């Protein structure tokens, strides 16, 4: 049960990290273009 929760938590954390990464890249691109 603990292992399953850990795997799910890792998956959520990974998705969250990707979302933040994309947001940062988008902001950098906008600043660079402007």
pLDDT score of 26: 97
pLDDT score of 6: 80
pLDDT score of 21: 97
C-alpha closest to that of 4 among 12, 23, 24, 33 = 12
* pLDDT digit string, tens, across residues 5-19: 788 888 999 999 999
Give the structural domain span for 6.
Answer: 1-34
pLDDT score of 2: 66
**Predicted confidence band at 20 (pLDDT cuts at 50, 70, 90)?**
very high
Number of DSSP helices (H) and strands (E) in the chain, helices first = 1, 0
Give the predicted TM-score (pTM) of the model: 0.60
**Cα separation of 4 and 16, whole Å?**
18
Q: How many domains does the chain have?
A: 1
**Cα separation of 34 and 28, whole Å?**
10
């Amino acid at each position: 049960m603990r292992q399953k929760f850990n795997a799910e938590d890792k998956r959520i954390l990974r998705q969250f990290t990707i979302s933040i990464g994309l947001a940062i890249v988008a902001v950098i691109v906008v600043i660079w273009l402007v």
